[in-house]
Chain A
Amino acid sequence: EVQLVQSGAEVKKPGESLKISCKGSGYSFTSYWIGWVRQMPGKGLEWMGIIYPGDSDTRYSPSFQGQVTISADKSISTAYLQWSSLKASDTAMYYCARVYGDYYYMDVWGKGTTVTVSS
Chain B
Amino acid sequence: SYELTQPPSVSVSPGQTARITCSGDALPKQYAYWYQQKPGQAPVLVIYKDSERPSGIPERFSGSSSGTTVTLTISGVQAEDEADYYCQSADSSGTYPNVVFGGGTKLTVL
Contacts and interface: CB of A to CB of B under 8 A. Distances in A.
A104 to B, nearest CB: 4
Contacts of A61: 96, 99
Interface residues of B, number: 25
Given A104-B92, A105-B90, A44 B103 contact: yes
Contacts of A105: 31, 33, 45, 48, 88, 90
Contacts of A95: 42-43
Interface residues of A, number: 24
Nearest to B102: A44
**Interface of chain A: mostly helix, strand, loop or mixed:** strand
A46 interface: yes
Contact of A50 (B31, B33, B44, B97): B97
Nearest to A48: B99
Given A47-B99, A95-B42, A106-B43, 19 more contacts: A44-B86, A45-B35, A45-B86, A45-B101, A47-B100, A47-B101, A50-B99, A59-B96, A61-B96, A103-B31, A103-B90, A105-B33, A105-B45, A105-B90, A106-B88, A107-B48, A107-B54, A109-B42, A110-B42
